[in-house]
Amino acid sequence: MTLSIDLVLTIWLAVALASVLRAFTGFGFALAAVPIFTWVLPPPLAVVLSASLVCATSSLRFGAFKQSLPKRKLTGLILALIVFSSVGVVFLSSLDRSKFQLLAGIMLLSASALLVFSSRFSFSGGRFKDLFTGSAAGLLNGLLSMPGPPLIVYVLATEKDPAQSRALLMTLLLASAALALVNFGFMGFVTVDSLWLFMLAWPVMLLGDHLGNHWFARYGSKQYRRVAISVLVLIALSSIASGLGQL
């Protein structure tokens, strides 16, 4: 793979934007990064890069939020994630770039819409709902490396404590990323090129993570949902337009 200036700058821009968004809001890296990655990378490389960056960063941060983790919800969600991630990854190799961009953009736009309304409704969790949510997230994890939409809406609607909500999301997204990497390895998507891309993007990921946490601590959380959703909507519309333009 040739590392052109356009490719490097696009990856750095995507990682910088998505890592700040993730640190500022607690979620959203794959939602923001994957559609941009696919402007310059084949879908398999895009999802491997996203999963590897999330896995590495979340592993470093796990000690800071594990004490707030509501363990009662983990079993059903993670079990369903494991099963359905393997199903979703089978269909990844059959997607071309235009269809991938279009599907990713639609999912991102749908997630943004759900996040707008998620603060206006709530419901109790349960084993069946955990399994259903984990299954949907697993399919998206294997197919698009974007398990966030169902997980984010479900956790925000069922978990009232902000610290527990953030900890649960971070843990689930860490598990999703690790599981996705295992599946991608079995499918042959983890290559020398993906390792070079990770090394290229990792310093930017660390810098963005630091800046996002710093800005959240300094400016508070009053506007974070509005900022996050606005950015995600813009990326979704851009990804849909790019996908439609290549059909």
How large is the average pLDDT for residues 186-214?
92
Residue 121: what pLDDT? 54
pLDDT at 208 over 90: yes
This prediction has a pTM of: 0.77
Residue 247: what pLDDT? 67
Please state, rounded to an integer, the average pLDDT across all residues of the chain: 81
| 150 closest CA partner among 201, 199, 237, 85 | 85
- Contact criterion met (CB below 8 Å) for 51 and 184: yes
- Contact criterion met (CB below 8 Å) for 152 and 30: no
- Contact criterion met (CB below 8 Å) for 100 and 154: no
Q: Helix crossing, 5-25 with 43-65: angle to 10°?
A: 30
Residue 201: what pLDDT? 96
- The percent of residues above 70 in pLDDT, for the chain, comes to 87
Which amino acid makes up residue 104? A
Which pLDDT tens digit goes with each residue over 45-73?
998 999 999 999 988 877 777 777 777 77
Residue 221: what pLDDT? 60
User: Where in the chain are the domains?
Assistant: 5-246
The owner of tokens 């197919």 is 143
